[in-house]
Amino acid sequence: MDVHCTTCGEPWDTYHLWHDAIWDTGLSEAEIRAWEKLPQSGKLAPKWRQQFEAACYVFGRTVINVIRCPACPKDAQPDRAKVQINAEIENLLAGDEDGLAATYEDHGL
Where does this chain bind Zn ion (CB under 5 A)?
5, 7-8, 10, 69, 71-72
Give least dist CB 73 to Zn ion, A.
8
Please, are residues 64 and 6 in contact by the beta-carbon 8 Å criterion?
A: no
| Phi, psi (rounded to 5 degrees) for 87 | -65, -40
What is d(CA 56, CA 52) in angstroms, rounded to the nearest whole number? Answer: 6
Residues 6+ apart with CB under 8 A from 42: none
Give least dist CB 18 to Zn ion, A.
18
Give least dist CB 45 to Zn ion, A.
23
The helix (run of H) or strand (run of E) holding residue 13 is: strand 11-13
Give least dist CB 39 to Zn ion, A.
27
Residues 6+ apart with CB under 8 A from 75: none
Question: Which is nearer to Zn ion, 8 or 93 (by Cβ)?
Answer: 8
Question: Which is nearer to Zn ion, 33 or 107 (by Cβ)?
Answer: 107
Position with the least CB separation from Zn ion: 5
Question: Which is nearer to Zn ion, 71 or 87 (by Cβ)?
Answer: 71
Question: Which is nearer to Zn ion, 3 or 27 (by Cβ)?
Answer: 3
